């Protein structure tokens, strides 16, 4: 593997972890779409700052764009507070307007600007290793890598330092406010993280991949665990996996790297959605089937217990009678009986059913409950 | 450019006429159907659908090799519909909430669409050029046949909406009641979303995937401010959408290097802003005026009450009470002097000296009425 390839994967993995951490809180706080809004709206900030400093690599650009992201959040809240539109509509009104201004400014002054709307949305990871970062004349690596590394450190520090506050404000905002933590401050802190991450990632991977990496891995992790630290770790892991697999998929198809990484985050989420041990579709389906059989079995034992040893027992405990009494299809009855026999709840002889001691116990217990 | 020339261009300039017509169709259809999305709290579904349509366009091209609008629209509709289905099934069967589901479908489908687009672009086939116009929209590439297709499909969608007017109204405001009446609410839900998908897909070529969501939310959000009736809201939203479409097309054509899609979005955003500020009853100005009026009414009533209290302590009903005393009683509410002037105009108090006021017999009666009212409401 050549150096640029390793570097591309390193950049992508760093972006993935940097996105997964604030993304986890976005998903938990039901603000996932803020990542979409912020990552689009920062375009305006980038363009405006560029007009002032005339240097696409200036750190001032990052600060200005980050502020635009935070401004987007406050604008959404401002529109929301008028109570004239609902929150989802407020998001849908604010960011297209800001993004449009950005696009228009770029097009109007396209001649003297090295900015491209496509690049902001889609990124060009393939070229990222060629913009180097120099410290005192030494090449310390690709600019995108050092930048995203710095942002990753900021994200980790913020989450470690304010872990308790974030956790409390996320799961019980009311309690957090009552205890004197300011939920507003935590909220804006988190939004600043999202914003700075989106800004840092925009020229490497583009805003769409930022949205994908902020939402899909945490959403998948959410289906896998109930513990916040595990969710953070799993999100980061799934993000990195998406980045690496996505890179090689793009290599194979000779297609957009950011696009294929986003696709892989979706595939990984889809797999989790199907296969997650407790919350996956398969697990849910299997649990439903098992519950259905268990319920039918229990009903059968209760029925048998009710008529056991009574004069009508011969009539009531016949296998063919279940069709009438329980409204079960004969095939279903046969299956339930076979199932119950195998688990040792009853004995079947010449179409007559009899409870075993274990079956009696099951029936009694379920009636007590 | 003067107005007459503009009008002439609008009628006779092929490109401008086509673009303006296309934008108008897009505004009418997405404004009308977007009203339901906004009312049903599905504003951002439009964002997800428009992004999700991208891979559909690419696959439709890959399969047929054709760029005929009908083919691409069909592909986009199927993909947008699948995306919606994905969102719904994630929300219904897992604990992942709707915001995450929407964002996930949006980013993943769009990413997949990009993979396909870049894949197509590298094919040795000249026909692929121009597919990327769906990203940001390129209204200038609209042809007359595109507009005719858009208009035909849009009319069909709007007619369907009108046919199911009563049912969709039920679905938007009280689906449980509708279900209890025996309407197939789930089927209606799917039909309405399908119409929304169609409306969104129609606009992709003009404003692009990224900005299409605004055309769903904004006209409806603006129309909502002016009315509480569904029929008027849908009509107004369509009108606002068309207005923004045409004015955006005209503005961008009369200025160099002004992309149509974003211009249309800014036009509709301006309409939203104006509506939120000016609309009667709900608008911000209206709201402010009403609050001021209430505040003054309360202030005046409080001063009248204070006057009555003071007067009750004196044998002589015509005795004047100083402004300073009333100010002290107002507990910093402010506006005492102006309240007194307002009361004087009604004939309830009169000025006995430059800063002394007395209650008139009419004022007494008014104060007693006020007291009764307060007692009634507090009981």
CA angle B169, B174, B177 (to 5 degrees): 110
- Whole-number mean pLDDT of chain A? 87
The confidence band for A119, taking pLDDT boundaries of 50, 70 and 90, is: low
Instruction: Confirm if B29 and B199 have CB atoms less than 8 A apart.
Output: yes
Is B44 an interface residue toward A (CB < 8 Å)? yes
Q: Based on the structure, what is the number of domains in chain A?
A: 2
pTM for the model: 0.86
Instruction: Encode pLDDT of B211-225 as tens digits.
Output: 888 999 999 999 999
Shared-domain flag, residues A342 and A206: no
On whether both A233 and A264 belong to a single domain, the answer is yes
Q: What domain count does chain B have?
A: 2
For residue A295, the domain's CATH number is 1.10.10.10
pLDDT band of B369, cuts 50, 70, 90: confident
Query: Domain range for residue A149?
Result: 3-279
Question: Do A202 and A144 fall into the same domain?
Answer: yes
Report how far residue A44's alpha carbon sits from residue A94's, in angstroms, rounded to the nearest whole number: 12
Looking at the predicted structure, is the pLDDT value of residue B36 above 90?
yes
Q: Is the pLDDT of residue A109 over 60?
A: yes
Domain-located, residue B268:
no
Q: Tell me, yes or no, whether B240 and B365 share the same domain.
A: no
Mean pLDDT of A174-180: 87
d(CA B50, CA B215): 11
Do residues A326 and A351 both lie within one domain? yes
Same domain? For A263 and A330 the reply is no
Mutate: best of A88, A250, A251, partner B, most B CBs <10 A: A88
Last residue in a domain, options A279, A303, A331: A279
Gap from A145 CA to chain B (nearest CA, Å): 22
Assigned domain for B89 exists: yes
A79 pLDDT more than 80 = yes
Q: Is residue B276 part of a domain?
A: no
B257 and B327 inside one domain: no
Q: Does residue B112 share a domain with residue B22?
A: yes
Residues B117 and B69 in one domain: yes
Question: Which of the four pLDDT bands, split at 50, 70 and 90, describes residue A317?
Answer: confident
* A94-119 core/surface letters (b: 16 or more CB in 10 A; e: else): bbbbbbbbbbbbbbeeeeebebebee
Q: Check which CATH number belongs to the domain holding A218 and give it.
A: 1.10.3470.10
Indicate whether B253 and B121 sit together in one domain. Answer: yes
**Is the interface score ipTM higher than 0.85?**
yes
CATH number where B322 lies: 1.10.10.10
Q: Is residue B277 part of a domain?
A: no
Question: Could you tell me if B152 and B294 lie in one domain?
Answer: no
Q: What part of B 294-353 touches A (C-beta under 8 Å)?
A: none
A99 shares a domain with A76: yes
3-class secondary structure per residue, chain B: CCHHHHHHHHHHCHHHHHHHHHHHHHHHHHHHHHHHHHHCCCCCHHHHHHHHHHHHHHHHHHHHCCCCHHHHHHHHHHHHHHHHHHHHHHHHHCCCCHHHHHHHHHHHHHHHHHHHHHHHHCCCCHHHCCCCHHHHCCHHHCCHHHHHHHHHHHHHHHHHHHHCHHHHHHHHHCHHHHHHCCCCHHHHHHHHHHHHHHHHHHHHHHHHHHHHHHHHHHHHHHHHHHCCCHHHHHHHHHHHHHHHHHHHHHHHHHCCCCCHHHHHHHHHHHHHHHHHHHCCCCCHHHHHHHHHHHHHHHHHHHHHHHHHHHHHCCCCCCCCEEHHHHHHHCCCCCCHHHHHHHHHHCCCEEEEECCEEEECHHHHHHHHHHHHHHHHHHC
Same domain membership, residue A162 and residue A90: yes
Q: Is the domain of A197 the same as that of A294?
A: no
- Dihedral sign of CA atoms B228, B232, B236, B238 in order: positive
Among residues A262, A279, A296, the one where a domain terminates is A279
Domain contains B279: no
The yes-or-no verdict on residue A113 having pLDDT over 90 is no
- pLDDT tens for residues A185-201? 889 999 999 999 998 88
Whether residues B120 and B181 share a domain: the answer is: yes
In a shared domain, residues A267 and A300: no
Query: For A290-310, how does the pLDDT look when each residue is reduced to its tens digit (9 = 90+)?
Result: 998 888 888 888 888 888 777
Give A89's contacts in chain B (Cβ within 8 Å): 38, 43, 217, 220-221
Question: B115–A209: do the CB atoms touch at under 8 Å?
Answer: no
* B205 and B309, same domain (yes or no): no
Q: Which residue has the higher pLDDT, B12 or A8?
A: A8
In chain A, which among 132-191 make CB contacts under 8 A with chain B? none
Q: Is the pLDDT of residue A95 over 70?
A: yes
Residue B113 sits in the same domain as residue B237: yes
Position A110 pLDDT exceeds 70: no
Final residue belonging to a domain, choices B214, B244, B261: B261
- A245 part of contact set with chain B, CB < 8 Å: no
**pLDDT reported for residue A118:** 65
**Average pLDDT in chain B:** 88
* Domain identity same for B51 and B106: yes
The predicted structure's pLDDT at residue A21: 95
To 10 degrees, what angle do helices A3-28 and A183-222 make? 110
* B113 to A259: CB separation less than 8 angstroms, yes or no: yes
Expressed as residue numbers, the domain containing B88 is: 3-261
As a whole-number percent, the residues of chain A with pLDDT over 90 amount to 41
HEC per residue, chain A: CCHHHHHHHHHHHHHHHHHHHHHHHHHHCCCHHHHHHHHHHHHHHHHHHHHHHCCCCCHHHHHHHHHHHHHHHHHHHHHHHCCCCCHHHHHHHHHHHHHHHHHHHHHHCHHHCCCCHHHHHHCCHHHHHHCEEEECCEEEEEHHHHHHHHHHHHHHHHHHHCHHHHHHHHHCHHHHHHCCCCHHHHHHHHHHHHHHHHHHHHHHHHHHHHHHHHHHHHHHHHCCCCCHHHHHHHHHHHHHHHHHHHHHHHHHHCCCHHHHHHHHHHHHHHHHHHHCCCCCHHHHHHHHHHHHHHHHHHHHHHHHHHHCCCCCHHHHCECCCHHHHCCCCHHHHHHHHHHHHHCCCEEEECCEEEECHHHHHHHHHHHHC
Q: Does A251 touch chain B (CB under 8 A)?
A: no
Residue A121: its pLDDT value, please? 66
Which residues does chain B have within 8 Å of residue A92's beta carbon, measured at their own beta carbons? 43-44, 46-47, 213-214, 216-218, 221
Contact assessment for residue B237 and residue B34, using Cβ atoms and an 8 Å cutoff: yes
Domain's final residue, options A246, A279, A312: A279
Q: What is the CATH number of the domain that holds B135?
A: 1.10.3470.10
pLDDT at B6: 74
Same domain, B299 and B361: yes
Asked if the C-beta of B274 comes within 8 angstroms of chain A's C-beta atoms, the answer is: no
What's the CA gap between A299 and B175, in Å, rounded? Answer: 36
Residues A348 and A203 in one domain: no
Residue B36 in any domain: the answer is: yes
Q: Which residues of A touch B218 (CB under 8 A)?
A: 92-93, 96
Q: Quick check: B262 contacting A, CB < 8 Å?
A: yes
Q: Which of B1, B91, B5, B6 is nearest to B42 (CA)?
A: B91
- Cβ–Cβ contact B141 with A under 8 A: no
- pLDDT at position A263 over 90: yes
Taking residues B220-242, report their average pLDDT. Answer: 95
Measured CA to CA, the distance from residue B224 to residue A160 in angstroms comes to 44
Q: Are residues B313 and B192 in the same domain?
A: no
| pLDDT band (50, 70, 90) for residue A237 | very high
Residues A339 and A216 grouped into a single domain: no
| Statement to judge: residues A12 and A39 lie in one domain | yes
Q: Sign of torsion, CA B101 B104 B108 B113?
A: positive
What whole-number distance in Å separates Cα of residue B100 and Cα of residue A140? Answer: 37
């Amino acid at each position: 593997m050549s150096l640029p390839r390793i570097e591309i994967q390193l950049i992508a993995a760093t972006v993935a972890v940097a996105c997964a951490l604030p993304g986890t809180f976005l998903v938990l706080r039901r603000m996932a779409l803020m990542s979409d809004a912020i990552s689009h709206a920062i375009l305006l900030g980038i363009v405006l700052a560029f007009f002032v400093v005339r240097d696409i690599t200036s750190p001032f650009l990052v600060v200005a764009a980050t502020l635009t992201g935070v401004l987007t959040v406050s604008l959404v809240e401002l529109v929301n507070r008028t109570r004239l539109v609902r929150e989802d509509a407020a998001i849908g009104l604010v960011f297209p307007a800001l993004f449009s201004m950005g696009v228009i400014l770029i097009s109007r002054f396209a001649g003297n600007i090295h900015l491209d709307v496509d690049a902001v949305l889609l990124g060009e990871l393939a070229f990222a290793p060629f913009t180097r970062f120099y410290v005192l004349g030494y090449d310390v690596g690709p600019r995108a890598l050092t930048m995203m590394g710095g942002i990753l450190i900021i994200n980790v520090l913020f989450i470690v330092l304010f872990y308790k506050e974030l956790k409390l404000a996320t799961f019980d905002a009311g309690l957090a406010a009552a205890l004197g933590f300011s939920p507003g401050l935590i909220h804006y802190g988190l939004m600043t993280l999202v914003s700075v991450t989106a800004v840092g990632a925009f020229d490497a991977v583009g805003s769409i991949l930022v949205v994908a990496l902020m939402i899909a891995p945490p959403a998948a992790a959410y289906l896998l665990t109930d513990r916040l630290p595990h969710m953070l770790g799993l999100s980061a892991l799934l993000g990195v996996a998406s980045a690496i697999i996505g890179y090689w998929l793009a290599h194979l198809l000779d297609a957009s790297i950011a696009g294929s990484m986003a696709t892989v985050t979706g595939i990984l989420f889809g797999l989790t959605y199907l296969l997650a041990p407790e919350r996956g579709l398969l697990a849910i389906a299997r649990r439903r089937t098992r519950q259905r059989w268990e319920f039918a079995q229990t009903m059968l034992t209760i029925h048998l217990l009710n008529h056991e040893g009574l004069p009508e027992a011969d009539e009531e405990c016949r296998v063919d009678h279940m069709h009438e009494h329980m409204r079960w299809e004969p095939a279903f009855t046969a299956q339930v009986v076979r199932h119950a026999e195998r688990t040792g709840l009853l004995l079947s002889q010449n179409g007559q059913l009899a409870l075993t001691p274990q079956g009696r116990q099951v029936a009694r217990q379920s009636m007590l409950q | 450019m003067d107005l007459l020339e503009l009008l002439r261009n609008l009628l006779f300039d092929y490109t401008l006429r086509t673009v303006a017509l296309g934008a108008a169709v897009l505004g009418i259809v997405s404004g009308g159907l977007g009203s339901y999305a906004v009312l049903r709290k599905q504003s951002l579904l439009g964002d997800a659908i428009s992004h999700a349509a991208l891979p559909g366009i690419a696959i439709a091209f890959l399969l047929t090799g054709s760029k005929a609008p009908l083919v691409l629209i069909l592909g986009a509709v199927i993909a947008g519909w699948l995306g919606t289905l994905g969102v719904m099934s994630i929300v219904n069967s897992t604990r992942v909430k709707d915001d995450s589901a929407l964002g996930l479908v949006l980013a993943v489908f769009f990413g997949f669409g990009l993979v396909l687009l870049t894949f197509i672009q590298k094919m040795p086939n000249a026909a692929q050029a121009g597919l990327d116009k769906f990203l940001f929209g390129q209204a200038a590439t609209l042809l007359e046949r595109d507009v005719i297709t858009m208009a035909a499909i849009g009319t069909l969608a709007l007619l369907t909406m009108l046919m199911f007017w009563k049912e969709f109204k039920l679905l938007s405001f009280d689906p449980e009641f509708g279900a209890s009446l025996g309407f197939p609410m789930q089927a209606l839900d799917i039909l309405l979303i399908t119409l929304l998908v169609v409306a969104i897909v129609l606009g992709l070529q003009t404003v692009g995937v990224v900005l299409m969501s605004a055309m769903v939310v904004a006209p409806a959000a603006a129309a909502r401010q002016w009315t509480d009736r569904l029929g008027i809201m849908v009509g107004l939203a369509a009108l606002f959408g068309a207005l923004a479409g045409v004015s955006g097309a005209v503005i961008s054509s009369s200025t160099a290097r002004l992309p149509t899609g974003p211009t249309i979005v800014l036009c509709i955003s301006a309409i939203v802003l104006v509506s939120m500020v000016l609309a009667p009853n709900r608008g911000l100005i209206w709201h402010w005026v009403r609050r001021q009026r209430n505040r003054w009414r309360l202030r005046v009533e409080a001063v009248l009450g204070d006057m009555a209290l003071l007067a009750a302590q004196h044998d002589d009903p015509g005795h004047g009470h100083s402004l300073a005393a009333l100010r002290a009683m107002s507990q910093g509410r402010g506006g005492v002097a102006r309240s007194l002037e307002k009361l004087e105009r009604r004939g309830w108090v009169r000025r006995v000296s430059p800063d002394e006021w007395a209650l008139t017999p009419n004022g007494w009666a008014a104060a007693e009425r006020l007291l009764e009212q307060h007692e009634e409401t507090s009981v």
